[in-house]
């Protein structure tokens, strides 16, 4: 990509990131959800945390090959090569329009899958048991975004980066500001987080458990749980929106 294209696209990323930060710095659930959490069994968050840790480990160790059967990884890689060449020869500033268009399509498809999974499980009164499925859909979505920007997800270092994205996307306030700034510093330096995968799984699982605590509780109630199932959709959107921003920024830094 030409320097002026990179500069133009980086401004777009920064603007979109600032919008994400403004929308997610306050915790929108704090006004209505937090006061009701006192009615939730004290052990539930620990149970959720343990379930997320176990599901992450299982999927990252043995489940990636099954996730890959749900999309055409080779086709996405081929499209990336085509879009990369097209961005290099385009004369206007919209050198990454094809990248963004493909990501929007995949995010839409995966959001529909997330909606069907969350609301369907909620209608049946299935809460905790849908966690492996929720994580599989989330990881599928981020894997596709990574491939669309030319990054693999096979190494442990890349898996740690994906887990850190998921953790940061669900934070609020000063924690979100701090973690986002740290990720940007790493991307600018061409580095990835220096932490073990097992430790990052614990961090991400803790944030996920806290984020979906109340809605997973009511998701266990048949029919009413459909409302709780919406938590999967909200969670999916936050994580995929944030992942797209970070992978696009990472791609652009690599072009400099």
Is 155 a residue whose pLDDT tops 80?
yes
Among 92-106, 189-203, 233-247, the least confident range: 92-106
Q: Is the pLDDT of residue 217 over 70?
A: no
Q: What is the pLDDT of residue 125?
A: 42
pLDDT of 64-120, one tens digit each? 888 888 888 888 888 778 777 666 666 555 666 666 666 666 665 655 555 555 444
Backbone angles phi, psi at 65, to 5 degrees: -60, -30
Alpha-carbon torsion (138, 143, 149, 153), positive or negative: positive
Instruction: Considering only residues 53 and 220, tell me which one the structure prediction assigns the higher pLDDT.
Output: 53
Rounded to a whole number of angstroms, the CA Rg of the chain reads 18
| Backbone φ and ψ of 241, nearest 5° | -60, -45
Checking if the pLDDT of 183 tops 80, the result is yes
* Backbone phi and psi for residue 139, each to the nearest 5 degrees, phi listed first: -65, -40
Residue 209 pLDDT? 84
Q: What is the pLDDT of residue 156?
A: 94
Residue 4: C-alpha distances to residues 10, 80, 111, 251 (Å): 10, 21, 33, 15
Mean pLDDT of the chain: 79
Q: What residues does each domain of the chain span?
A: 3-255
- Is the pTM higher than 0.85? no
Query: Which pLDDT does position 63 carry in this prediction?
Result: 85
User: Are the C-beta atoms of residues 45 and 217 closer than 8 Å to each other?
Assistant: no
Residue with tokens 């997320």: 52
| Residue 89 tokens, joined | 């020869």
Residue 222 scores a pLDDT above 80: no
- Which range among 9-18, 116-125, 148-157, 227-236 shows the weakest confidence by mean pLDDT? 116-125
Residue with tokens 């696209």: 9
Q: Which residue has the higher pLDDT, 127 or 132?
A: 132
């Amino acid at each position: 990509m030409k320097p002026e294209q990179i500069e133009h696209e980086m401004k777009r990323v920064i603007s979109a990131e600032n919008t994400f930060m403004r929308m997610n710095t306050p915790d929108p659930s704090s006004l209505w959800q937090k006061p009701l959490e006192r009615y939730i069994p004290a052990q539930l968050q620990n149970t959720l945390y343990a379930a997320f840790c176990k599901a992450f480990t299982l999927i990252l160790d043995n489940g990636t090959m099954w996730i890959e059967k749900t999309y055409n990884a080779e086709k996405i890689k081929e499209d990336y090569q085509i879009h990369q060449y097209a961005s290099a020869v385009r004369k206007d500033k919209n050198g990454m329009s094809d990248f963004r268009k493909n990501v929007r399509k995949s995010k839409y498809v995966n959001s529909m899958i997330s909606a069907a999974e969350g609301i369907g499980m909620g209608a049946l009164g299935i809460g905790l048991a849908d966690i492996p499925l929720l994580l599989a859909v989330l990881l599928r979505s981020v894997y596709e975004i990574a491939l669309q920007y030319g990054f693999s997800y096979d190494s442990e270092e890349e898996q740690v980066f994906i887990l850190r994205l998921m953790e940061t996307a669900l934070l609020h306030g000063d924690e979100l500001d701090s973690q986002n700034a740290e990720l940007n510093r790493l991307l600018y330096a061409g580095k990835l987080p220096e932490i073990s995968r097992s430790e990052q799984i614990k961090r991400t699982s803790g944030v996920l458990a806290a984020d979906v605590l109340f809605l997973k509780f009511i998701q266990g109630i048949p029919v009413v749980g459909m409302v709780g199932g919406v938590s999967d959709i909200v969670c999916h959107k936050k994580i995929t929106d944030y992942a797209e921003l970070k992978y696009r920024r990472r791609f652009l830094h690599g072009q400099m």
